[in-house]
Structure 1
Amino acid sequence: MELIIIGLIAAGVRLSISIAYAALGEMVGQRAGVMNVGLEGIMLFSAFISAWIAVVSGSPWIGLMAAVLGGVLLGAVHALFSITLGANQIVSGLALVVLGGGLSGFGYRLTIGASPVSIPYFHQVDFGPLSDIPILGPIVFGHNILVYIAIALAFLLYYLMPRTSLGLALRAAGENPAAADAAGLRVNALRFGAVVFGGAMAGMGGAFLVLGQVHAFVEGMVAGRGFIAIACVVFGGWHPLGVLLACMGFGLADALQIRLQIWYPSVPYQFFVMFPYVVALGTLVFFASRSIGPAALGEPFRSLRRYVKLR
């Protein structure tokens, strides 16, 4: 039983990381006042890019960088429409879901989908004797480098958001953009940067699925993780460590459903596959009325300073 629990927790950590990257980036964007429901499309597009470029270059690192650039590109598209042009953030995000899904499927069939390929991936970090420590070894020291980068990112954001001028400026842009603008902050520039950062992190999440978890690309492989990442931002109360814990909770539920399929083969596997999503939906309903997000989340902003200058 102990080995089963240890294996479940270790698998839960791995399964949570792709969501954690996207959720942490989305948290920064929402803190600045912009919601991006297009994470699903960005992750799927970046997953394909990471697989393709890793195969072509022979390096998972180059594949990862390409995925981040792909995420930056689609994040910038969302920022352009929702911030610069003032389009509805939900509509712009949903367009990204369709765009990312279409580009990834079409690109995959034109490139590496034509014949079976072996995708370079990130191997488990060798911690030596630390990996053999009972209980903690497999859970803490049994992962690849991208897992530790995601956890470090959560702690870095935990320090930066409430303690640095940039973090406070981003929060001001999402809480009271008019006051931030009056104080001399470039609200829309801050929001643009936050959304592009969120796109980059969604790209990291998509790349992790391919290069750190599955070691293959399959059309539609993101399977709702982009939407779950948005829910985890709410579960975590827009707090970096809370978001990370929420993602790990979903990862544990996902790891559990995989094992339940093995333990109960007579039960239709579709019942277990939907289990983590039902948990996420139920938790979202429970927390939605208890969570208070940024006051200006989803609201476009136009600076009055340029009109004052014109007069």
Structure 2
Amino acid sequence: MDLMFLTGLLASGVRFAIPLLFAALGETIGQKSGVLNVGLEGIMLVGAFLAVAFSVATGSPWGGLLAAILGGAALGLLHGLFAVRLKVDQIVSGLALILLGLGLSGFGYRLVFAGQPSMRVPGFDRLDLGVLSDLPLLGPLLFSHHALAYLGILLAVGLWWIMTRTGLGLTIRAVGENPKAADSAGIDVDKVRMLCTIFGGAMAGIGGAYLSTAQLAGFVEDMVAGRGFIAIACVVFARWNPLGVLAVALIFGIADAAQIRLQPFFPQVPYQFFVTLPYVLALVALAGAARSSNLPAALTQPYRKS
């Protein structure tokens, strides 16, 4: 039973980690270019709603995923317009995105699905990998997840390679570390930052889509429940390394899965105590990592040509 409990916990931890992983990977690229987006929470909410709405409309979760990507990219573009082009404070712009996402997703859900509480939402099914999925212990842990889970893992590896081994990665890092020198080398700083911010928004949209069409198969107002902020903590704790983000997201995912499974074992303890555990872990990790982290030198600093 102990081994089965541990296997189930780790498998659930992977599933809980995926929305964090997508949002954190996008935020990693954005922050490496010098743009902080604290509005991930709002973007993930909009992505979750759009995924449900268009999955129902098209009859396919892939249609919902595409809508979530486009919606997230649009909100990323909006953040870029204010934070990069207009040089507005990035924190203020991000907070506005949170409020906008809360309002848009809640209003859109009531407008589109009013009076349809029992609607069926086409969702992503877990992949059936045949013999691999039937393996004891390893099957549930490694070979019984949704397609988006494997896509997220591959994306983490790909982004690590791009950021550390290619000229594109060097350009992004240069813009985030020394935009003046990058500008002198002929790099359009604002363009690079805009593209990275749009990419980060699209990734947050995928994270929201995973929540509503793979993990839950439905939309609930404020269902993101702080995961956008935990994704930012993942980025800092992983020191802006995509592979580190993958590892840290798994840690937070396992912590989230653990709080659900521990509640029945300790009925005398208020369940709110367990619910807060992932958020306490995020605060501790963020406080500890921030002291020793090397922030991108130009993070949150708008670039103005002299």
TM-score, length basis structure 2 = 0.98
Aligned AA (2:33): A
Unaligned stretches of 5+ in structure 1? 305-311
* Deviations, residues 173-204 of structure 1 (Å, cap 9, x unaligned): 00000000000001110000000000000000
- DSSP 3-state at the match of 1:302: coil
Structure 1 match to 2:287 = 285
* Alpha-carbon distance between aligned partners in 1 of 2:264 and 2:305, rounded to the nearest angstrom: 57
Aligned AA (1:253): A
Unaligned stretches of 5+ in structure 2? none
In the alignment, structure 1 residue 97 sits paired with structure 2 residue 98 = yes
The farther-off stretch of 257-266 and 103-112 is: 257-266
Structure 1 match to 2:37 = 36
How many pairs were matched up? 304
Structure 2 match to 1:115 = 116
Structure 2 match to 1:71 = 72
Query: 1:250-289 alignment to 2 at 5 Å?
Result: 250-289=252-291
Deviation at 1:210, TM superposition (A): 0.6
* Alpha-carbon distance between aligned partners in 2 of 1:118 and 1:261, rounded to the nearest angstrom: 30
- DSSP 3-state at the match of 2:292: coil
Deviation at 1:69, TM superposition (A): 0.4
- DSSP 3-state at the match of 2:87: coil
In the alignment, structure 1 residue 170 sits paired with structure 2 residue 172 = yes
Structure 2 match to 1:308 = none
Deviation at 1:134, TM superposition (A): 2.5
Structure 1 match to 2:150 = 148
- DSSP 3-state at the match of 1:111: helix
Aligned AA (2:109): Y
Structure 2 match to 1:14 = 15
- DSSP 3-state at the match of 1:47: helix
Aligned AA (1:172): A
The farther-off stretch of 98-107 and 260-269 is: 260-269
* Alpha-carbon distance between aligned partners in 2 of 1:275 and 1:288, rounded to the nearest angstrom: 20
* Alpha-carbon distance between aligned partners in 1 of 2:242 and 2:114, rounded to the nearest angstrom: 37
* Deviations, residues 261-284 of structure 1 (Å, cap 9, x unaligned): 122223211111011111111111
RMSD of Structure 2 on Structure 1 (CA):
0.8
* Alpha-carbon distance between aligned partners in 2 of 1:14 and 1:303, rounded to the nearest angstrom: 45
- DSSP 3-state at the match of 1:289: helix
Aligned AA (1:55): V
TM-score, length basis structure 1 = 0.96
| Runs ≥4 residues deviating over 2 A | none
* Alpha-carbon distance between aligned partners in 1 of 2:295 and 2:127, rounded to the nearest angstrom: 37
Deviation at 1:166, TM superposition (A): 1.0
The farther-off stretch of 256-265 and 204-213 is: 256-265
Deviation at 1:136, TM superposition (A): 1.6
Aligned AA (1:134): P
* Alpha-carbon distance between aligned partners in 2 of 1:58 and 1:112, rounded to the nearest angstrom: 15
* Alpha-carbon distance between aligned partners in 1 of 2:101 and 2:253, rounded to the nearest angstrom: 24
Deviation at 1:137, TM superposition (A): 1.1
- DSSP 3-state at the match of 1:114: coil
